[in-house]
Chains A and B, each alone.
Chain A
Amino acid sequence: MERNKMGMLTFVASEAVFFALLIAAYIFYHRRGGEGPTAANSLDLVKTSIFTVALLSSSVTMHFAVHSAKAKKSRGVGVWLFATIVLGAIFLIGQGTEYLGLIREHVTISRNLFGTTFFTLTGFHGFHVAIGLVMLLILLGLAMNPRGLHPDSPAVEVISIYWHFVDVVWIAVFSVVYLWAFV
């Protein structure tokens, strides 16, 4: 296997353990929050579902970017990377507005255990999306520059591994935090 790819996969394995433990902490503390806000009475399932769709579709566009890279179509790479960035940014903006709304309702990270575990978990995920966006922007910059990105560079594929991972984590977070609250 190509070494950058293997490095990224190993890194993702490490990160998976990290997120698994944050999710486990969320589940463990779920019923111990005591009085005050809970997932069920403070989260907006519909809004977040829409942003979730944006993030999940960004995995599809990322896939096409890799496809174009393999076919050595640099225009395609640029277009699909751009789409991925836009969708990722929509997700982050959605998360930002969600946070703002919560904080206005005085649901903060220090309010109670729900706030503590919710903001820690989704915050770390959001942080990872942001890092991903930075990497994608750099890739896009390189792809636009005719002398920047070698057509058979493994970079696009390597970053796509990270991006898909961040997506998969969100599926887990969304299921545990949002869907579980409303069943």
Chain B
Amino acid sequence: MSEASQSHATITSLADIKEYRGLLSWVASIDHKQIGIMYVVSAYFFLFVGVVEALIMRLQLIRPNNHLISPETYDQLFTMHGTTMVFLMAMPLLFGFSVYLVPLMIGARDMAFPRLNALGFWLYFFGALMLYFSFMAGGAPAAGWFGYAPLTEKSYSFDHGIDYWALSLLVMGAGSVATGINLIVTVLTLRAPGMTLRRLPLFVWMVFINGILVVLAMPPLNAALVMILADRLLNTHFFTPATGGSALMWQNYFWMFGHPEVYILVLPAFGVISEVIPVFSRKVMYGYGLMATSTVAIAFLSFGVWLHHMFATGLGFAILYLFAASSMLIAVPTGIKIFNWIATMWGGTIRFSTPMLFATAFLIQFTIGGLSGITFAAIPLDWQLTDSYFVVAHIHYVLLGGTVFAMIAGTYYWFPKVTGRMMSERVGRWNFWLLVIGFNGTFAVLHILGVLGMPRRVYTYPDVPYFGLLHAISTYFAFVLVLGLLVFVANMIWSLLRGKVAGDDPWDAWTLEWATSSPPPPENFERVRTIHGRRPLWDLKHAAVAPAATKEGR
């Protein structure tokens, strides 16, 4: 037990906690740590499902004029893959980290509303099951992850796939709002004494802003889903042009949600990176205030750019210019973050442990994804590239090369805290290099395919120069990528069973979650001392040397 510990350290693994024994203790749990773990495990399970769907698509695309699967199956696969990755994998993964870590990082006992927390998880869980039930109920949805009307109308999608799709998103949307509210109120009301907003760990800042985004951005999606469900089940006319309805209405409402959603999918990942980089560079975060304010700026601006997803729908020029400008503007606060992370690493004593490796890869890959994103803000380029494989490359650079890499960094970083066991560093290196090579090999070439004119969402393509070659390269590297993911899962399972005991604070970190045992006891802390700075644990560890050493955030 270290000097700084704020709890009894007799716990060294989850099995030591008697409150967590038995299936019922999990199913009926309102403990934020158990709920967080259930979120993360479910999310990684659906990552696996989504990857299997992706592999089938990649196999179909391996050579021109291939007929491994039918066009209908291909449509179902990309729809289920996209929906799964966004709503069943990424969001719950981020929520899992958020509800697990926020109370610990602010020195609280639990979330503000523990029951609501459980409700949020179970709404997600059953919503996810409902989506997959569609396979058994006559056919999965096949209209893409953004389900454009009128393709989703009954006259074009007759079986029940879209009904399940819309209902399940509605159920999960309600759960997300519940969790968003919970996170906001937790951060505002349950901080430890002395932890002012200016001393909040950056992860908590980003999760807090994310909560606001969730609460305000889910309603447009829910409204649109209600309308499409009414169209399909009650024969209303919202999106049927023949009777005066408007297909563009769906696009507007969907992207009013959809653009903030992309920031919902990345802000907590930014938070993870902002915790990992300083600790492994042994330097305080450069530009703490700018990091927080640029997050607020991103959240604010993200509600004013949605039309850049609709540049090809024939809007007036004034509107086009306005949204092109706002879309370029939102790159500024994001760029600021990238520079701050680099500045933090600059001149630091960098330890390239696995979390830091993944954080570094995140920085590079996310920047590439950001640059291809800016490309779309230039309207003529968007007209050329929209609905091509360039978009597919962009999505995966930000979501997989960005968010998922960051969350893997976070997994390596916090796994010792959550389970009490270190993950293997040696396997971690294999994991890292397989993923980096597999990921970039799979998706970098897709940029070229897009520029050459390969449209997205088609099940096969004619034998024109380079198409077959580039697709084949992408498919082969996809297997390397999947191997990397399998190594990751294997490392988690092996480390859980055999990993070396972590102790309270294996990384010599400075946020509060490291000041309790690993895994933390159900009550988190026995007592929380008053916080005097941004690095409460550092202050505790160095209290004898320099009392209240850090003046930051006073």
For A14, the closest partner residue in chain B by CB is: B215
Query: A162 → chain B, closest Cβ, in Å?
Result: 13
Asked if A60 CB lies within 8 Å of chain B CBs, one says no
Q: Is A116 an interface residue (CB 8 A)?
A: yes
**Does A28 count as interface, using CB distance less than 8 angstroms?**
yes
Q: When A18-B223, A33-B244 are in contact, do A7 and B185 touch as well, CB less than 8 Å? A: yes
A41 to chain B, nearest CB (A): 17
Tell me whether chain A's interface is mostly helix, strand or loop, or mixed.
Answer: helix
B279 cross-chain contacts in A, Cβ below 8 A: none
Q: Does A109 interact with chain B (Cβ within 8 Å)?
A: yes
Interface residues of A (CB under 8 A from B): 1, 3, 6-7, 10-11, 13-15, 17-18, 21-22, 25, 28-29, 32-34, 109-110, 112-113, 115-117, 120, 124
Residue of B nearest to A16 (CB): B219
Taking a contact as CB atoms under 8 Å apart, the answer to whether A14 and B177 are in contact is yes
Within 8 A of A (CB), among B45-83: none
Q: Are A28 and B215 touching (Cβ within 8 A)?
A: no
Binding site for A on B (CB under 8 A): 112-113, 116, 177, 180-182, 184-185, 188-190, 215-216, 218-220, 222-223, 226-227, 230, 234-238, 243-246, 249, 253, 256
Partner of B220, one of A21, A32, A110, A117: A21
Number of A-B residue pairs with CB-CB distance less than 8 Å in the complex they form: 89
Q: Please judge, given known A-B contacts A3-B189, A7-B181, whether A17 and B219 are in contact too, CB under 8 Å.
A: yes
Closest A residue by C-beta to B235: A110
Q: Which residues of B contact A115 (CB under 8 A)?
A: 236
Residues of B within 8 A of A21 (CB): 219-220, 223, 253, 256
A-chain residues with CB within 8 Å of residue B237 when the two chains form the complex = 110, 112-113, 116
- Look across to chain B and name the residue whose beta carbon is closest to the beta carbon of A34: B244
CB<8 Å pairs between A and B, sample of 14: A7-B185, A10-B184, A10-B215, A14-B180, A17-B220, A18-B222, A21-B219, A21-B223, A21-B256, A25-B238, A28-B249, A110-B234, A115-B236, A124-B226
7 more contacts with CB within 8 A, not counting A10-B184, A120-B230, are A3-B189, A22-B223, A28-B249, A110-B236, A113-B244, A113-B245, A116-B237
Q: Which residue of A lies closest to B188 (CB)?
A: A6
Residues of B within 8 A of A112 (CB): 237, 243-244
Known: A7-B113, A110-B234. A15 touches B219 (CB 8 A): yes
Pick from B177, B184, B234: contact of A109, CB under 8 Å: B234
Given contacts A7-B112, A22-B223, A29-B244, whether A116 and B238 have CB atoms under 8 Å apart is: yes
Contacts of B182 in A (CB 8 A): 7
Shortest distance between the CB of A113 and any CB in chain B (Å): 5
